[in-house]
Amino acid sequence: MITKYFLLALVYQLCFCDYVSAACGRPPGVNNANVMDGKRVYEPGEEVVYSCLRGYRGQGFSKLVCPKNGVWNRPKLRCEPRSCPVPKLVENGEMHATDFIYGKQVHYICNEG
């Protein structure tokens, strides 16, 4: 008589996982602004600082922090054109301009005579 014995072994694996934060890619762009440190990857908690281009001034927050989920929030910075003071008028001439914003031109035309 042949007897067969089978050994049945159950293996249980217990896993403990820590929440792993995800890295952020490049931060979202802001019109008329640059990111001061143009890295490709940012770790959670790292911040980026935006700087408005020359001729623009910032309104809002210029910093953005990489969140734990790795998805950037929308920047709360707007870079708007700087206004220039109105130029002085000239004697015996006219000034032609549509607006007085940084980078725009003003033209003077002399009167006849």
Parse the chain into domains and list their residue ranges. Answer: 20-81, 83-113
Instruction: Work out the average pLDDT over 36-52.
Output: 93
Residue for token pair 């996982």: 17
As its CATH architecture, domain 20-81 has Ribbon (2.10)
- The pLDDT score that the predictor gives to residue 35 is 95
- The pLDDT score that the predictor gives to residue 21 is 73
Compute how many other C-beta atoms are within 10 angstroms of the C-beta atom of residue 52: 21
pTM of the full structure: 0.67
Residue 72 has pLDDT above 90, yes or no: yes
Q: Which of 6, 11, 55, 18 is nearest to 33 (CA)?
A: 55
